[in-house]
Structure 1
Amino acid sequence: MNSKFLGTGVALVTPFKTDLSVDYDALNKIVEYNIENGVEYLVISGTTAESVTITKQEKKDITAAVIEANKGRLPLVLGIGGNNTAAIIEEIQTTDLSEIDAILSVSPYYTKPTQEGIYQHFKAIAEASSTDILLYNVPGRTSKNIEPDTIVRLANDFDNIIGVKEAGNSTYQYLQILKNKPDDFLVISGDDDLALGVTLAGGSGVISVIGQAFPKEFSEMIRLGLKGDAKAAYKYHFRLMDVIDYIFEENNPAGIKAVFEALNLCESAVRLPLVPATDGLKAKISAFVKGF
């Protein structure tokens, strides 16, 4: 099993200044904050990074900035996905991936392919990539689930498809994948609320949103889960339960950015069509952070 992705990865936000330009100073602070507090790896340009409203040049600059801030200390995952298979392959082949340990590739959205279409999409990507691939299943955003049989089929057929970030918020689906996957295939939770339970059931940890705001506590919870120490791990889970609900109450990443604002790590600004968290939600989040 690829041990570099055991534990807690964090889906980094893209911090913005009030004029909505990228705040690289804040990005550096967030990266350092997470490394200092014990997360196992960093994920660049996922959904939480507002990747769909980031320009190609900004993506290159953000990736370079994270690589520079990381200084080789943690493994890095880069989001390269979408619904145009040929364009994804072109991006993989024209991007310098020498500092990237794996690609996170989301299932095609909007086009709603069949399971065979999803399989062929990832088959083409796997055959074109010299870098390891983590599948990303998030049917709430793509409106098409990657069925467990398709995930297991891809896992068995391609050595460089090393795992899945599963974010369907279905315990049953997690268990189906865990039951039938190859031994060395990573099942990574993409649901913060289910992450500990999935880890205890045999999962490999999490790619977390809230983990980047409370990296010390969240990553320790997952480490305890990997050891099978449920009682100690759930003490952390119960402390974090309310804020996990808060950050997804309106939209992601407006919620997590409101947490970062309360922690004085970055502004709460997001790019349209997202809007910042409401004053009511910010008040709840601020009260949680002060009391944590």
Structure 2
Amino acid sequence: MTKFYGTGVALITPFNEDLSVDHEALKNIVNYNVENGTDYLVISGTTGESVTITKEEKKAIIATIVETNNGRLPLVLGIGGNNTANVIEEIKSTDLSQIDAVLSVSPYYSKPTQEGIYQHFKAISEVCPVDIILYNVPGRTASNMLPETTLRLANDFKNIVAVKEAGNNMGQYLRLLKDKPEDFLIISGDDDLALGVVLAGGAGVISVIGQGLPKQFSKMIKLGLEGKAKEAYDIHFKLMDIVGYIFAENNPAGIKAVYQALGLASDAVRLPLVPATEELKEKIKDFIANLG
């Protein structure tokens, strides 16, 4: 289970100007993260614009990342949705031989009850051949998977090994950390709260900004896991502004502006998202230039 400790990153899907997938940029991004301290890679999450990626594109993206990574880091694949039967079908029809875990979001839009959420993940657990990381992100799903439901799933299913908690609610994190089974991992999905969660006993983070500044961000999380709070917070304070910038308009427009400033990818996103404004891009460029 130590493979999901530290800094995981929710990779973007870089696009060419015609909005086709830029596989060369994707290879460069994978290498950049592998070489600069990232601990594992998350494919096709929200930050990867998964909702506007076709099935064929998703297969090709997975193939590029698997080939480029070449077994260097653990890989997590996003497979989730609000149609339980479709999620099960995708799990069954996807080659997961090179994938270490599936990241599966709590059902969005449908607003199921807590029992509905439990039954959704129970059905997925029963068919999934690899570990499952639950993903709670109420700001996007319009429903909150309560700690009681997460912990019930953690206790009932061996292959449900972690939760990416992204409710931006420190009280909810602490409730999970207090009551979780010993080997169940609480992973922060909030870049701004990640260090506090780690210092309270969390396993790490699945980060957005971490992929743009992997050296600094992964070092901060590593120091947190070692209990070196002061050194870790020194880095946290240096990165606070950029974390605010990348979420100021929409994700992943902000992190794509970071990659554009680094010369690693274009800032193109697919509708209904739009690129970051020039004003925000200038702030991001200035921050990167001054970070050293």
TM norm. shorter chain > 0.5? yes
Are 1:110 and 2:104 an aligned pair? no
Quick check: 1:121 aligned with 2:120? Answer: yes
Q: Distance in 2 between matches of 1:240 and 1:58?
A: 33
CA distance in structure 2 between the partners assigned to 1:130 and 1:183 by the alignment: 22
- Of all paired residues, the percent bearing the same amino acid is 70
Q: Could you state the TM-score of these two structures normalised by the residue count of structure 1? A: 0.99
Partner of 1:147: 146
Q: CA deviation at 1:130?
A: 1.3
Amino acid at match of 1:196: L
Q: Which residue of 1 aligns with 2:278?
A: 279
> Equivalents in 2 of 1:17, 1:122: separation in Å?
36
SS at match of 2:152: helix
Q: Secondary structure at the match of 1:268?
A: coil
Q: Which residue of 2 aligns with 1:252?
A: 251
**Partner amino acid for 1:46?**
G
Quote the Cα distance in structure 2 between the aligned partners of 1:225 and 1:259: 24
SS of residue matched to 1:187:
strand
> Separation in 2 of the partners of 1:64 and 1:290?
33
Q: Which residue of 2 aligns with 1:264?
A: 263
* Aligned position for 1:89: 88
- The aligned runs of 1:35-114 (5 Å cut-off) are 35-114=34-113
Over residues 89-120 of structure 1, what are the superposed CA-to-partner deviations in whole Å (9 max), with x where a residue is unaligned? 01001100000000000000000000000000
> What's 1:11 paired with?
10
CA–CA separation in structure 2 for the residues paired with 1:94 and 1:34 = 29
Q: Secondary structure at the match of 1:128?
A: coil
- Deviation of 1:159 after TM superposition, in Å, equals 0.3
Q: TM-score, normalised by structure 2?
A: 0.99
Partner amino acid, structure 2, of 1:77? V
Q: CA deviation at 1:254?
A: 0.1
The answer to whether 1:175 aligns with 2:180 is no
Distance in 1 separating the partners of 2:71 and 2:242: 31
- Runs of 5+ unmatched residues, structure 1: none
CA–CA distance in 2 between the matches of 1:129 and 1:280? 45
Q: Note the alpha carbon deviations across 1:209-233, whole angstroms, 9 max, x for none.
A: 0000000110010011001100010
Which residue number in structure 1 is paired with residue 225 of structure 2?
226
How far 1:136 moved relative to its partner? Answer: 0.3
The answer to whether the aligner puts 1:206 opposite 2:205 as a matched pair is yes
Q: Runs in 1 of length 4+ with deviation above 2 angstroms?
A: none
Tell me how far 1:163 sits from its aligned partner.
0.3
Instruction: Quote the offset at 1:171 in angstroms.
Output: 0.2
CA distance in 2, matches of 1:64, 1:233: 35
Distance 1:106 1:64 in 2: 22
Q: CA shift at 1:58, angstroms?
A: 0.2
Query: Equivalents in 2 of 1:118, 1:110: separation in Å?
Result: 12
Number of matched pairs: 291
RMSD: 0.4
Whichever residue aligns with residue 289 of structure 2, its letter is K
